[in-house]
Amino acid sequence: MTEVRLVDVEKRYGAFLALPKQSLTIEEGEFLVLLGPSGCGKTTTMRMIAGLEDITSGDILIGDERVNDKPPKDRDIAMVFQNYGLYPHMTVAQNIGYPLKLRGMDRAKRNERVLEIAKKVELETLLKRRPSELSGGQRQRVALARAIVRTPKIFLMDEPLSNLDAKLRVTMRAELKHLHYELGVTTVYVTHDQMEAMTLASRIAVMREGRIVQLDTPKKIYSEPIDLFVAGFIGSPSMNLIEGAVENGFFVAKGVKIPVQLADRRDVVLGVRPEDLEIVKQEGAAITAPAYALELTGESTLLTVKDGATSICVRGPADLETKIDEVCYLAPQAGGRIHLFDKSTGTRIDA
């Protein structure tokens, strides 16, 4: 188990600044998720830790060792690639055993270990096949098995689930989580899927344009997003963001009047998650707007109301019945969270 530290690390491609100077500490045994839209630098960050990408300045430390100039093979890491990076000319057993072979483990011991790991990921019947004869999910498990066949100091995973179908993804997610619990190895995981990040991470680093915007536990990122970008990125369906102003202790916008504890201010964005709203009678209404769409998800119904440009989504009971265009009344739930952001800078305003 090892701590990974990035100290004042910067990455440039010629004149292009890919990752501005920043530091990041990944704690021992932690499952850190780098989350962000494509092109935000999360994969580059991971590849720099792996040694597949040079860093322009700064230091990377694995444990207490500075690894800037060490080739990937000497960093004692294992990585699962988005496209798996299997060896097509080798059998499944050879693929899984390759890291051991490179470390000079003798054949008998190697075969034993490969079988043990293959059983763990349920590949033991496929050991003689080649990657081309496997399904996507099976290939993914080969890649995983190859990573865990020895115990590295850190695991790196680059969107390992993105090529799987939705159902398999959920299953594999649970398996990854359990595996991390079982092995306790420091893990860095890259994804653009906020759901994966929320469910897997001990901490999430939300990245945008090369910068880590917020680094915190999933709970904290969900309940206290630091700015509009994080607020909109985390959560599904995403947080309702309503533009308006604060007047006399109320946030007001078209059809919206919600009490807030904030001095009068213009250009404010109010954020409220669908599950923090509820459908009420006319008397208690904070939001009044006609129904726009009704979506049954199974355990609940998502009701979207829309008045002009603002559309607001609320999570209601599964048996909710409302006609389209019928006027609806919504209010924040008791104990529901309301977030206020500055419209121009996007930063959170704390009351």
Partner 1 sequence: MKNRIYWAIERTLLLLVSFVVLFPIFWMFLTSLKKPRDAYSITLNFQPTLENFATVFADPWNLGSMVLNSVIVAGVTVLIAVPCASLAAYSFSRFRVKGRKILFFLVLSTQFIPAVVIVLPFFLMFRSLGLLDTRIALIIVNLAIVTPFVIWMIKGFIDAIPVDSEEAALIDGASRLRVIRDIVLPMAAPGILTSSIFCFILTWNEFLFSLILTRRDAVTLPVGLVNFRTERGDLWELMSAAGVMITVPIFIMAILIQKHFTRGMTAGAIK
Binding site for partner 1 (CB under 8 A): 50-52, 71-73, 75, 77-79, 81, 83-89, 98-99, 102-103, 130-134, 136, 139, 143, 146, 156, 163
Nearer to partner 1, 46 or 289 (CB): 46
Instruction: Please give the Cα distance from 78 to 193 (Å, whole number).
Output: 22
Complex with partner 1: residue 81 or 250, whichever CB lies closer:
81
The tally of CA atoms less than 13 A away on the side-chain side of residue 100 is 23
Q: In whole angstroms, how close is the CB of 93 to partner 1 at the nearest point?
A: 15
Q: Which residues contact 80 (CB under 8 A, 6 or more apart)?
A: 143, 144, 147, 155, 156, 157, 158, 160
* Cα→Cα distances 294→163, 233, 325, 328, Å: 31, 22, 11, 12
Residue number with CB closer to partner 1 (149 or 328)? 149
Output the smallest distance, CB 146 to partner 1, in A.
7
What is the rounded CA–CA span in Å between residue 52 and residue 68?
11
- Please measure the distance between the N-terminal and C-terminal CA atoms of the chain and give it in whole angstroms: 41
Q: At its nearest, how many Å lie between partner 1 and the CB of residue 60?
A: 15
Residue 158: CB minimum distance to partner 1, A = 10
CA distance 300 to 223: 21
Comparing CB distances to partner 1, the nearer of 154 and 176 is 154
Closer residue to partner 1 (CB): 50 or 230: 50
Report the distance separating Cα 91 and Cα 19, nearest Å.
Answer: 39
Structure tokens at 164: 């799987």
Residue nearer to partner 1 on the CB measure, 167 or 323: 167
Minimum separation from the CB atom of position 102 to partner 1 (A): 4
Nearest approach in angstroms of CB 89 to partner 1 is 4
